């Protein structure tokens, strides 16, 4: 179990299975590069105490505690196709006109990965 200071590769893999998450999803939740989680899973590196504590917290919160990457074909328009959606521009107008809404959306967006950084 992930409750000591050293986490084995088997425990990393068991955590991914328990949380029903991919290596990339676990990496995003822990705010590390996916390659780092792969190295933990292979035993080439071991997570720091801070990361072990974060994994323990994730386990306690359960599988639905962090945002998931979309799998398969996305619903609705995405990317450049979204620019043709009138709803997008309605949202942009509302965001520009209402500072409180902008602040709420900004806070909500913090839990989603930035597509420009992927």
How many CB atoms within 10 Å of residue 53?
Answer: 14
> Is residue 66 predicted with pLDDT exceeding 70?
no
Query: What pLDDT is stored for residue 1 in this prediction?
Result: 47
How many CB atoms within 10 Å of residue 113?
Answer: 13
- How confident is the model over 107-116, as a mean pLDDT? 86
Spatial neighbors of 113 by CB under 8 A, at least 6 apart, are 28, 67, 69
| Per-residue model confidence as pLDDT tens digits over 27-57 | 988 999 999 999 999 999 999 999 999 999 9
What are the residue ranges spanned by the domains of the chain?
Answer: 9-61, 79-110
The second-level CATH assignment, the architecture, of 9-61 is: Orthogonal Bundle (1.10)
Cβ atoms of 27 and 12 closer than 8 Å: no
| pLDDT above 70: percentage of residues in the chain | 83
The model's pTM is: 0.55
């Amino acid at each position: 179990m992930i409750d000591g200071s050293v986490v084995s590769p088997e425990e990393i893999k068991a955590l991914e299975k328990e949380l029903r998450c991919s290596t990339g999803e676990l990496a995003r939740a822990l705010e590390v590069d996916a390659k780092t989680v792969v190295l933990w899973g292979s035993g080439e590196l071991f997570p720091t105490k801070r990361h072990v504590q974060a994994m323990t917290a994730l386990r306690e919160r359960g599988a639905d505690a962090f945002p998931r990457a979309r799998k398969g074909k996305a619903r609705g328009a995405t990317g450049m196709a979204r620019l043709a959606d009138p709803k997008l521009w309605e949202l942009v107008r509302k965001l520009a006109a209402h500072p409180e809404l902008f602040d709420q959306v900004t806070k909500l967006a913090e839990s989603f990965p930035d597509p420009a950084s992927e």
